[in-house]
Structure 1
């Protein structure tokens, strides 16, 4: 059973006010070429299909074109909503589209959809779990024992998995969109302060392959059974050194899994350059490169270049960001004092603020109230 694993298309995304639609059209065409070569049994689309809950008309048209071309190839698609998507909009028309092999996850209501594929080794069940928050699961399981106690993302995903119909004697694939503990993130993702949205991969132990979305860097988490395929394009300069790819997961008899990557080549790459203005604008420096790439340039001149952005765009028209690294900027970046900057949760920051305001620490009741309030805010905003 060969499956193509995609996620985080973020159709309609803008990076530093540059529209990525043209780049997304190009990369989806390239992905379709890979699908034609690989001839998979299905395509897994693990959330964040759009970049916004209310996508642009261009983004909707692009997804429509992509799914239509897959349907014409008779390749089934199994797609879920991510945290950037509107679950209701992704679910729209799902019953009608499923007859064409385009299976979109419904809004989570305590149950999840599953679909069966067959190969020479027997059944493979594809389970669809859209992005869920604790409040959504509490509401969906209202009236069941323990439902009101679901407060964390770990508890929410655990409860959702426990309510799935999983035959562990068969091969099972999960398509999900959550943040697994141990995954390496980058700047283009929305990660909750304090890591409250993280879950342990142990909740996925009954699945033979877990096709995850949400993290933009391609990587396995713990083993090749649990994998983020990453974005097909770079969406921040923290990803400049990455090789984007398509993940191919092949399931043979139960317990036998092979995962590989097929590299993608973007229409425009995302690159960083650093040097003096004279070095950056030297013909020898750029004549053998694609000057149409999206660029972040760091100038090391001690004096700022007048109209530097405008001048550099004469050579690099898609210059997104211009920075300086010199004595002035380094002095501005210095932190006075010897205190170590610590990574703290929102609750820890709020406890410190409370103590400064009231000259006494929170009591247990106040701490519990604050913790619940912060969690509710996070559930709405993530």
Structure 2
């Protein structure tokens, strides 16, 4: 059986006030092309289907279109809810939808939903476990000693019957201890949401969602597929891929990664304003990519964002790296304030804030401004 492992679609996501819905439509079309070219037989979507528990109408339309396109290909599709999703919304109409071969996870009720599919080697058991919290598990199993995410997961796995002589695949959406996070993910203080990889040792393959960087934990077959798109500049250097899982006879699994090329990539640009606005600098850059620009000019560039967007229209983020921004000076109450002139006080404040003294031009401007405001005559 040839699976495509996806996760963390985050349909409807906005990044730095930019809607990514068109980028998501574009990448879903790329995924459909891969499905056709690679003759995928089943698709696994491991949670965070939407970016919000109450998705926009546009996001719902995009998911509806994607699932319809999958169903028309006579694929089996298995979708679980993640921590960004509403379990009730993902599970709405699950029984009816399943008639088209698309299986949507229902709200967690204690039992891990299981489906059987067949190929030339026999049956494969597909276990669908939506994102769970300790309180959810405790609500169902009141007698259980549950005080953490890990103990909740361990208890649920103990209640789940798995025939280890058969081929078993688990779809889950949790943070497995030892994995690497990205800036675009929600962080729990002290790692309280971590679960042990040992909870999954009875499964031949574990299709994980939740973390945005593609990676495996301990075993090659306990794996995060990562997001199909980059959702923060911490992912700018990632290569996003579609993860293909070939499951043959028991114990025979192979993996293949197919690059996903986005409509707009994420790039980081750093340098002085005049430098990065020159044609020689940007001649080899796709200027339509989403950009994080860091200016190294010592003086702020007036209307920098507006000017930079004449060359790089999709700038998402602008900041400075210079003497001022690298300063760690602490501004405290001044000494002998009553004996100092206003301009002298402002010069001290400026130097503390910017880690450099005012220029002569700045001092002359400030001196004139003070006199104009206070109507001081020469």
TM bucket, shorter chain: 0.7 to 0.9
Cα distance between partner residues in 1 of 2:251 and 2:193: 29
- Aligned pairs for 1:125-136 (under 5 A) are 125-136=125-136
Greater Rg by CA: 2
- Aligned pairs for 1:104-123 (under 5 A) are 104-123=104-123
Q: CA deviation at 1:287?
A: 2.3
What is the match of residue 319 of structure 2? 323
Asked if residue 208 in structure 1 is aligned to residue 204 in structure 2, the reply is: yes
Cα distance between partner residues in 2 of 1:313 and 1:287: 16
The C-alpha deviation readout for 1:253-308, integer Å capped at 9, x for no partner, is 21121112111000000110111111110111112321111000001111110010
Q: Secondary structure at the match of 2:100?
A: coil
Asked if residue 184 in structure 1 is aligned to residue 165 in structure 2, the reply is: no
Q: CA deviation at 1:33?
A: 0.4
What is the match of residue 66 of structure 1? 66
Moved segments of 4+, more than 2 Å: none
What is the match of residue 175 of structure 1? 171
Asked if residue 287 in structure 1 is aligned to residue 307 in structure 2, the reply is: no
Cα distance between partner residues in 2 of 1:20 and 1:333: 39
Asked if residue 150 in structure 1 is aligned to residue 140 in structure 2, the reply is: no
Cα distance between partner residues in 2 of 1:333 and 1:68: 58
The C-alpha deviation readout for 1:20-64, integer Å capped at 9, x for no partner, is 000000000000000111112210000000000000011000000
Q: CA deviation at 1:115?
A: 1.1
Using a 3 Å threshold, how does the CA distance of structure 1 residues 302 and 45 change in structure 2: closer, same or farther?
A: same
What is the match of residue 379 of structure 1? none
Cα distance between partner residues in 2 of 1:261 and 1:32: 15
Q: Secondary structure at the match of 1:63?
A: helix
Using a 3 Å threshold, how does the CA distance of structure 1 residues 153 and 260 change in structure 2: closer, same or farther?
A: same
Q: Provide TM-score, normalisation by structure 2.
A: 0.86
Cα distance between partner residues in 1 of 2:86 and 2:328: 41
After alignment, is 133-142 or 172-181 more displaced? Answer: 133-142
- Aligned pairs for 1:364-379 (under 5 A) are none
Cα distance between partner residues in 2 of 1:301 and 1:51: 37
Q: CA deviation at 1:120?
A: 2.0
The C-alpha deviation readout for 1:150-189, integer Å capped at 9, x for no partner, is 1100011111112223111100000000000111111000
Q: CA deviation at 1:333?
A: 8.1
Q: Secondary structure at the match of 2:82?
A: coil
Q: Secondary structure at the match of 1:330?
A: coil
CA RMSD for the aligned pairs? 1.4
Unaligned runs of 5+ in 2: 331-378
Unaligned runs of 5+ in 1: 335-382
- Aligned pairs for 1:214-233 (under 5 A) are 214-233=210-229
Cα distance between partner residues in 2 of 1:94 and 1:112: 15
Q: Secondary structure at the match of 1:329?
A: coil
What is the match of residue 85 of structure 1? 85
Q: Provide TM-score, normalisation by structure 1.
A: 0.85
Asked if residue 301 in structure 1 is aligned to residue 297 in structure 2, the reply is: yes
Q: Secondary structure at the match of 1:206?
A: coil
